[in-house]
Amino acid sequence: MAMLKIKKGDTVKVIAGKDCNAEGKVVSIDRKKHRVVVEGVNMITKHAKPSAANPNGGIVHMEAPIDISNVMLVYKGQPTRVGFRMEGDKKVRFAKKTGEVID
End-to-end CA distance of the chain: 21
Return the half-sphere exposure (C-beta side, CA atoms, 13 A cut-off) of residue 19. Answer: 22
pTM tops 0.75: yes
Question: CB count, 10 Å around CB of 39?
Answer: 13
Yes or no: say if 97 and 74 are a contact pair by the CB < 8 Å rule.
no
For the chain, how are helix, strand and coil distributed in percent, rounded to 5? 5, 50, 50
pLDDT per position as a tens digit, 16-34: 999 999 999 999 999 999 9
Percent of the chain with pLDDT over 90: 92
Give the pLDDT of residue 54: 87
Q: What is d(CA 21, CA 84) in angstroms, rounded to the nearest whole number?
A: 25
Q: Looking at the domain 11-78, which fold is it?
A: SH3 type barrels. (2.30.30)
Q: What is d(CA 63, CA 84) in angstroms, rounded to the nearest whole number?
A: 29
Q: Which of 64, 8, 75 is nearest to 37 (CA)?
A: 64
Q: What is d(CA 72, CA 69) in angstroms, rounded to the nearest whole number?
A: 8
pLDDT per position as a tens digit, 47-62: 999 999 889 989 999 9
